[in-house]
A and B are shown apart, each in its own frame.
Chain A
Amino acid sequence: MSRRIAIVEDEAAIRENYADVLRKQGYEVQTYANRKDAMSAFDIRLPNLAIIDIGLENEIDGGFTLCQSLRSLSDTLPIIFLTARDNDFDTVSGLRMGADDYLTKDISLPHLTARIAALFRRLDVIDQPPSPENLLQRGKLSLDIGRLTVQWDGQAIPLTVTEFWMVHALAKYPGHVKSRQVLMQESKIFVDGSTITSHIKRIRKKFMQLDADFDCIETVYGMGYRWNVEAAPTH
């Protein structure tokens, strides 16, 4: 049974382009132009994944409202914001609403499909026992590449797919400096440098909520970031 993806986007051309690509990938795609249509459809039946634009027709923040409603209907439904708004404030708001990822429309279609596939995979493997070959252990950090989940000192950290790929890119080779460009490629997004900076900041914050002394992601000024093994003496 094919997975159903709902696209809520008021720009018809974009909506149809995305729908076409996803349909070619074998997904069943339903498209909605505004929040009302989408909500009435979701009330009847939830999709397996939702891609939402923030500005919907005459509602500037209609996407946020929709995301909240969806999250109240289902805790596990993957929600992706796909929007032209690239500022930090909207990103933070969107992720706080419970979205699984926040993407700008700069993203290329292959990257988008890869991300959707990753999210579905994460859903699929959630019940299966972790396979050891998919595990990456760096000190207290353990990454499950198959499930796209992260644990720090045995406790799960809720990272978005983008964030997971960034942490993975850094932790794969501890001590190696990864430039912002590399991080962008690894996390399959296309943004400017300052967006990477704010992504890193958010990742640090998530770790520090569990461990206030977390300092494994080090900024190398002018070059990028690197993963420090926590045993290594810092500062």
Chain B
Amino acid sequence: MSLALKSPFGIRSKLVFLSSFLLVIPWLGYQYILEMEDVLRRGQEQTVLGTAQALATALNERPELFNEGNYSPATRSQDLYVYPIYSPISLVDGSLSDWGEYQQYEVGYDARDYLRTSLNPVRPYSKEETLQFRTMLGDYNGFLYAYFKVTDDHVVYRDSEALTVHRSDFLQITMLSREGNEVNRYVIAPYEAEPIYPFKVRPDYSEPTYEERIIGQWYDTNNGYAVELRIPMEMLGDRLGFAIFDVDDSVARDVNTVVATYRVDDSELLGSLRLPTPEIDRIVAGMGHNNSRIQVVDRSGRVLLTVGDIQSATGLLISPDPEENQTNKYWLYVQDKILNPLYYRILSKPSNDFIDELYSDVTRDGAHIDSALQGSPMTQFRTLADTETRLLEAAHPIIANNEVMGAVVVDQNMNGLRSFRNQALEQLFNTILAVMVIVVFGLFFFASRISTRIRGLRNQAEGIIDDSGRVQNTIVPSRNSDEIGDLSRSFSNIVERLTQYTKYLENMSSRLSHELRTPVTVVRSSIENLGMAENSEESAVYIERAEEGIKRLNLILTNMSEATRLEQMLQTSEKEKINLCEVVSGCVEGYKLAYTEAKFELDLPNYAIYINGVPEYIAQLLDKLIANAVEFSYKDQPITIYCRALRDHVVLKVTNAGPFLPEEMKDRLFDSMISVRPQEKQNQPHLGMGLHIARLITDFHGGKIRAENRPDREGVIVSVVIPLYYNK
């Protein structure tokens, strides 16, 4: 019916489409949190650099902390440099392999460190002598660890019966006592390769007494021997020296050569023992940063000190969510199994199980350290390849006497920030997901409701008027107070008025006839009375004319109320099974008698067509159709009555040859008081009720009636379609 193009999108899909713009919100949230993360990261950067700066400031102008030789580049020196060791060293494994990479810091001593002592007062250093050793000192867990790799072509052990300790190859350890007022000497002179058995001796090597605190192992190597030992730190003062005494003649047992780290016999010339300085330690510990790893490196990048470990150096204190325990397990399940896998497709979750391969290094390098050692502080980010952990590293120079003494390196891993960001994003996503689900469902429900209501209204509106344009139903006014309810109410109002108006029009003829009947009766009875009383010739003519007029008036009135009367009768009529062919053929016989001047052609099937109907009304319907057909037929042209059963209905057609119907009247032809008769044809009163009655009867039989122009020639076909009778 409607000419409007059917839009492929309903209100619902439009609203859902519009609500898809909500998807921008999580994107904005994501961007916002990334921005926030960036800000936090800058903050962390500043904090870390600030920490480094603060530490460096604390260490500034204290060159003694970085004393030359203290942590000097590893060259030969009488001062002994003690490297920090981070893993335990085994003394009894008979191998130096567990010293690992620390061995690179060993220092060699050879002929240049030849020492004349009381045991070799006259022997000069002979060119043939090959005695030399390499040593390395480390500090681990309160002990000083040391090893000596001695190259010696003749290893002469102590005679098994000898009581003296200086008549064989031996190692002498000389140290200033803790109090600094005494020089202690210890001699390690084994009988064979064995766990060492050190003796404290007097300067002339007499009165050896066993010193149990120094333990270690002596063993042979390809070109000599090696000694591994450890000394408790509390034994040590701040000066220490080592000397290797070599005896080549196992019979004479005189000391040939002594190679030492110092002037052993002069306590003033003992080398300084350079331990990691507790001063720096204190300063650094005083910074109290346990959320970052702080390292102090010297000019050559050697790590002097490390506080904290990088795994826990998250920079942020993240307390576990206390609500975690209270939320119900279903939600946790959903969160763990569905949401998180989804989120972590776009988020990276760093792990704390990373290994900073640079961490175990004794020296540190990197652009930031280089820059700091050049004198300018710098921060940098480093991503560990295997775990995607990002490290924030800041280095700040330590300056003393306008010279860079070293650098403070502060490292933090970014996992804390990342976890923080991820938590925020998770929460954001959860919230947005919930909001969006609610909003989308809400909108969908809302749109469904609106479109259902509008569709309901439309269906009602379409149902108001039937195919023939008559008002059939009403609209139930909605009780809703919104616009659609308003529309419904105003529709209902319109329809109600329209119905009233239509009823008024439909009943007008009937009411008119009823109202007119009384005055007509007055006139007629008066005239009749007059006719009975007056007998004059003259008046009789007029009376007769008046009676004639009254009769016509009466016919009009009767016709006018015919439709109304029929409608009332239809309401009480009962249908029965009738043979339509029989009725039609009977009627046509009658018409042949009634309309002598017209020709009728009957086209009936040779089978019976049963319909559920009232024969009198069918006959009345035919009466009206035939009367019309006869009236509009050209002279001597046959009127065809055609009747056939077609599937589940019967088609009855009355065709005449005559003038076409006016186009604009076709649909209204069957309405009450519609007539297309030309004025000159009006020799009889016509009110346009005939076809209206035909339609009433067709409707009563559940059928449809239609008038159209003949396609083959000038003429009109009126077709009636009525459902066939069927047994219920």
Interface stretch, picked from A67-75, A104-112, A146-154, A209-217, is A104-112
- Known contacts A84-B517, A84-B521, A88-B569; decide if A221 and B532 are in contact (CB<8 Å): no
Q: Are B622 and A222 in contact (CB under 8 A)?
A: yes
A85 at the interface (CB under 8 A from B): yes
Query: What is the distance, in angstroms, from B549's C-beta to the closest C-beta of chain A?
Result: 14
Q: Are B522 and A13 in contact (CB under 8 A)?
A: yes
Residues of B within 8 A of A11 (CB): 518, 521-522
Query: What is the distance, in angstroms, from B628's C-beta to the closest C-beta of chain A?
Result: 15
Q: Are A222 and B591 in contact (CB under 8 A)?
A: yes
Contact of B565 among A88, A105, A109, A221 (CB under 8 A): A88
Interface stretch, picked from A18-26, A27-35, A37-45, A163-171, is A18-26
Contact of B590 among A13, A195, A197, A222 (CB under 8 A): A222
Residues of A within 8 A of B566 (CB): 194
Contact of A86 among B522, B524, B561 (CB under 8 A): B561
Contact of B521 among A88, A105, A222 (CB under 8 A): A105
A117 at the interface (CB under 8 A from B): no
CA A21 – CA B532 in complex, angstroms?
A: 8
CA A85 – CA B594 in complex, angstroms?
A: 30
Residue-wise interface mask of B (456-471) relative to A, using a CB-CB cutoff of 8 A (1 in contact, 0 not)? 0000000000000000
Q: Are B588 and A222 in contact (CB under 8 A)?
A: yes
Q: Are B525 and A17 in contact (CB under 8 A)?
A: yes
Q: Are B591 and A86 in contact (CB under 8 A)?
A: no
B37 at the interface (CB under 8 A from A): no
Q: Are B590 and A106 in contact (CB under 8 A)?
A: no
B493 at the interface (CB under 8 A from A): no
Residue-wise interface mask of B (583-609) relative to A, using a CB-CB cutoff of 8 A (1 in contact, 0 not)? 110111111011000000000000000
CA A231 – CA B427 in complex, angstroms?
A: 101
Query: What is the distance, in angstroms, from B362's C-beta to the closest C-beta of chain A?
Result: 121
Query: What is the distance, in angstroms, from B171's C-beta to the closest C-beta of chain A?
Result: 143
Query: What is the distance, in angstroms, from B143's C-beta to the closest C-beta of chain A?
Result: 128
- Known contacts A11-B518, A84-B517; decide if A221 and B615 are in contact (CB<8 Å): yes
B160 at the interface (CB under 8 A from A): no
Residues of A within 8 A of B522 (CB): 11, 13-14, 17
Q: Chain A residue with minimal CB distance to B562?
A: A192
Residues of A within 8 A of B679 (CB): none
Query: What is the distance, in angstroms, from B97's C-beta to the closest C-beta of chain A?
Result: 126
CA A195 – CA B569 in complex, angstroms?
A: 10
Q: Are A191 and B589 in contact (CB under 8 A)?
A: no
Contact of B568 among A89, A105, A193, A219 (CB under 8 A): A89
Q: Are B529 and A219 in contact (CB under 8 A)?
A: no
Q: Chain A residue with minimal CB distance to B586?
A: A221
Residues of B within 8 A of A155 (CB): none
CA A224 – CA B587 in complex, angstroms?
A: 9
CA A14 – CA B622 in complex, angstroms?
A: 38
Contact of B528 among A21, A88, A106, A221 (CB under 8 A): A21
Residues of A within 8 A of B619 (CB): 219, 221-222
Residues of A within 8 A of B561 (CB): 86-87
Contact of B620 among A18, A194, A224 (CB under 8 A): A194
A190 at the interface (CB under 8 A from B): yes
Q: Interface size of B by Cβ–Cβ distance < 8 Å? A: 41
Q: Are B558 and A219 in contact (CB under 8 A)?
A: no
CA A110 – CA B525 in complex, angstroms?
A: 10
CA A219 – CA B622 in complex, angstroms?
A: 15
Q: Are A84 and B514 in contact (CB under 8 A)?
A: yes
B117 at the interface (CB under 8 A from A): no
Residues of A within 8 A of B620 (CB): 193-194
B103 at the interface (CB under 8 A from A): no
Q: Are A192 and B559 in contact (CB under 8 A)?
A: yes
Q: Are A84 and B518 in contact (CB under 8 A)?
A: yes
CA A109 – CA B620 in complex, angstroms?
A: 30
Residues of A within 8 A of B529 (CB): 17, 20-21, 109
Q: Are A108 and B521 in contact (CB under 8 A)?
A: no
Query: What is the distance, in angstroms, from A182's C-beta to the closest C-beta of chain B?
Result: 13
Query: What is the distance, in angstroms, from A111's C-beta to the closest C-beta of chain B?
Result: 10
Residues of A within 8 A of B517 (CB): 84, 105-106
Q: Are B590 and A220 in contact (CB under 8 A)?
A: yes
B128 at the interface (CB under 8 A from A): no
- Known contacts A13-B522, A220-B586, A223-B590; decide if A86 and B623 are in contact (CB<8 Å): no
Residue-wise interface mask of B (516-542) relative to A, using a CB-CB cutoff of 8 A (1 in contact, 0 not)? 011011101110110010000000000
CA A191 – CA B589 in complex, angstroms?
A: 24
Query: What is the distance, in angstroms, from A200's C-beta to the closest C-beta of chain B?
Result: 9
B554 at the interface (CB under 8 A from A): yes
Residues of B within 8 A of A134 (CB): none
Q: Are A223 and B554 in contact (CB under 8 A)?
A: no
Q: Are A105 and B518 in contact (CB under 8 A)?
A: yes
Residues of B within 8 A of A65 (CB): none
B616 at the interface (CB under 8 A from A): yes
A185 at the interface (CB under 8 A from B): no
Query: What is the distance, in angstroms, from A201's C-beta to the closest C-beta of chain B?
Result: 8
- Of A198, A220, A222, chain B has the most CB atoms within 10 Å of the CB of A222
Query: What is the distance, in angstroms, from B579's C-beta to the closest C-beta of chain A?
Result: 11
CA A110 – CA B583 in complex, angstroms?
A: 37
Query: What is the distance, in angstroms, from A125's C-beta to the closest C-beta of chain B?
Result: 28
Q: Are A222 and B558 in contact (CB under 8 A)?
A: no
Residues of A within 8 A of B (CB): 11, 13-14, 17-18, 20-21, 24, 84-89, 105-106, 108-110, 190-195, 197-198, 219-224
Q: What would be 13 A-B contacts, judged by CB atoms less than 8 Å apart?
A: A14-B521, A17-B529, A18-B525, A21-B525, A88-B565, A108-B528, A220-B586, A221-B586, A221-B590, A221-B619, A222-B588, A223-B594, A224-B590
